[in-house]
Structure 1
Amino acid sequence: MFKSKRYNDETLKHLQQVQMKILKYFIEVCEENNLTYFIYGGSLLGTIRHKGFIPWDDDIDVIMFREDFEKLNNIFEKSIDSKYSFINVLNEETFPYTFGRLLLKNTEFSEWWYDQVNFKQNIFMDVFILDNIPNSKFKRFIHKWKSFTLNQLTMYALIKFDNTSKFKKIIQNIVYYLIKILHISPYSIKKKCVESFSKYEHENCDEVCDFPAVCQMPVYYKTDWLPPKRAQFEDIEVNIPKDYDKILKRTYGDYMALPPEESRWRPAPEKIDFGEY
């Protein structure tokens, strides 16, 4: 079952401060290498509604086009500040997600699945990816659902779920054990997943999407994003999509309205350690 443990105000504020350190390093690398990024998801909502974090939010999300993401990955493979590490679905065997994660070493942020992976779960910032969607409606339908299915299989191949509804838990665990019984390599699923995501990378496509969230989030026109605008996020300026209003409305509806007070919280991790920070 989902954990209901909540942050205390001091811990949440401390976590947000440490995540700002990660964001500032990420932006520095992007600016030095002419890479385009955008504040994304709940962090974009926080940028517009609160000029920073949503007060009860516990992470920062950014997103990049596939080309820039791959360049960033190559940069980090060759040189990265010793305080950080960068993992993604292909360079970390047991990482169950298909986006990137920039981690601050010598910290700990242990999520519910921490004992099922071989890497240390540090305080992190997620780096999501915008992939091309073909213009053909038929190709787009096939591509979206194939990619989404492979994304789910990537997670189910590595994580035994125990925190969802009973029905979902049964389905997920059937898949988990079938993959093991059939000796299907999780890496082979991961590789096929990335190949599917990036299939149309070099084609002229009008639309893009974040595949891991494609069932919950809409697809977007590239023109919704470019060129990026600048906006205040806490004590710095960050990139946001050109048509952020359109993106936020499609994702959240009336995004300036606050949720009910009882919904203004996020579950805390199993363990959090700020180390020297």
Structure 2
Amino acid sequence: MADEAVSLIHHVELNIFKQFAAITHKHHIHYIALGGTMLGAVRHQGFIPWDDDMDVGMLRADYEQFLKVTSDDLKDTHYFLQTPWTDENYALSYSKLLDRNTFIEEKNNVNNARKGVFLDIFPLDKIPDSPARQRRQILDMRRLDSRIYLKLRYNVIDNPIRKFQNPLSEEQVETADDFKEQREAVMTMYNDKPALTNVKNLASQYAYDKEILSLDELNDIVNLPFEDTEIRVPADYDAILTRIYGDYMELPPENARTEKHIVRLITDNQEFEL
């Protein structure tokens, strides 16, 4: 059953990605595959078989352009662009393109934001060269993350009382929005510094140094096969994947080949437990 569910998730995610790629192509917006999606393209020419999400990234200017144009392009579709501003209950610092014809529950992530199979879309922001300033930026961002998660009632486990809670008050939403604006200011504080040449997905799950990218790496892009389509990756993907994973062509042990995020999927009136 789990294998069938992961195959269904891959099928939905691939269609989401194709919608995303069509929008970026139409508007000349640049993106790259990140993390496990880049690894999947290189090692498997598609999804890592046991993975259950897709990650892409964009320089902040492209990211903002994508957010601006997408609402028109998604009209009359079953997709929803979830951002800190389109879903008041959504606490994360990046965006998700959701399939509204699906519903999911995620591991260790209980909240009232909209749910569906998704594509993660991360902004890539400039970072300072100074390690001390790097630490200050990421700590300030994480402090604001924590405040937003608390305000929007994000929990690791479900609480039966949650269903009886009142919706967020106008004051609570405004406070959360203020924290979101502060967080974005922290994330983008170095983007106007021409001398800085490194960017980072500040919401990355990896250790800080592992997913730092140079602007040169982002300017040299190739297309790789990904299932029945193609995906953009930096031409120097070998160096990037080695930084993140070490010997990335070696498969992990079988007991580590498990889904990371989704524990329940509902689609086409069918329910799957992963």
TM-score range, shorter chain: 0.7 to 0.9
The partner residue of 1:208 within 184, 192, 199 is 199
1:274 aligns with 2:264: no
Deviations 1:204-256 (A, max 9, x none): 12111111227624222222222211111111111001321111111111111
Deviations 1:177-211 (A, max 9, x none): xxx9xx79222111100111011222212111111
In structure 1, distance between residues paired with 2:203 and 2:4: 32
1:11 aligns with 2:2: no
Please provide the CA RMSD for this pair: 2.5
In structure 1, distance between residues paired with 2:69 and 2:225: 27
Give the match's secondary structure for 1:254: coil
Give the match's secondary structure for 1:225: helix
In structure 1, distance between residues paired with 2:260 and 2:134: 35
TM-score (norm 1): 0.82
In structure 1, distance between residues paired with 2:178 and 2:222: 39
Q: In the alignment, what sits opposite 1:176? A: none
Q: In the alignment, what sits opposite 1:189? A: 179
Deviations 1:114-145 (A, max 9, x none): 7631x430111110111011244543343233
Q: Runs of 4 or more off by more than 4 Å in structure 1?
A: 112-115
1:26 aligns with 2:17: no
Q: Could you say if the C-alpha distance between residues 217 and 55 of structure 1 is closer, same or farther in structure 2, counting changes exceeding 3 Å? A: farther
Give the conservation status (yes or no) of the 8 Å contact 1:84–1:105: yes
Q: In the alignment, what sits opposite 2:225? A: 232
The partner residue of 2:105 within 107, 110, 117 is 110
- Give how far 1:267 is off: 5.2
Q: Describe how 1:88-237 pairs up with structure 2 within 5 A.
A: 88-112=83-107, 116-117=111-112, 119-162=113-156, 185-204=175-194, 205-213=196-204, 216-218=207-209, 219-237=212-230
In structure 2, distance between residues paired with 1:112 and 1:255: 25
Give the match's secondary structure for 2:81: strand
Q: Could you say if the C-alpha distance between residues 36 and 112 of structure 1 is closer, same or farther in structure 2, counting changes exceeding 3 Å? A: same
The number of residues matched between the two structures is 253
Q: Could you say if the C-alpha distance between residues 87 and 268 of structure 1 is closer, same or farther in structure 2, counting changes exceeding 3 Å? A: closer
Give the conservation status (yes or no) of the 8 Å contact 1:96–1:154: yes
In structure 1, distance between residues paired with 2:155 and 2:109: 12
Counting aligned pairs with the same residue, the percent is 27
Give the match's secondary structure for 2:58: strand
Matched AA of 1:211: L
Give the conservation status (yes or no) of the 8 Å contact 1:128–1:210: yes
- Give how far 1:271 is off: 2.9
Segment drifting more, 128-137 vs 34-43: 128-137
1:47 aligns with 2:38: no
Give the conservation status (yes or no) of the 8 Å contact 1:96–1:159: no
In structure 1, distance between residues paired with 2:269 and 2:67: 26
Q: Could you say if the C-alpha distance between residues 141 and 160 of structure 1 is closer, same or farther in structure 2, counting changes exceeding 3 Å? A: closer
Q: Could you say if the C-alpha distance between residues 109 and 39 of structure 1 is closer, same or farther in structure 2, counting changes exceeding 3 Å? A: same
In structure 1, distance between residues paired with 2:205 and 2:264: 30
1:262 aligns with 2:255: yes
In structure 2, distance between residues paired with 1:159 and 1:199: 27
Unaligned segments of structure 1, at least 5 residues = 1-6, 164-179
In structure 1, distance between residues paired with 2:232 and 2:33: 6
- Give how far 1:153 is off: 3.2
TM-score (norm 2): 0.83
- Give how far 1:265 is off: 1.2
In structure 2, distance between residues paired with 1:153 and 1:253: 34
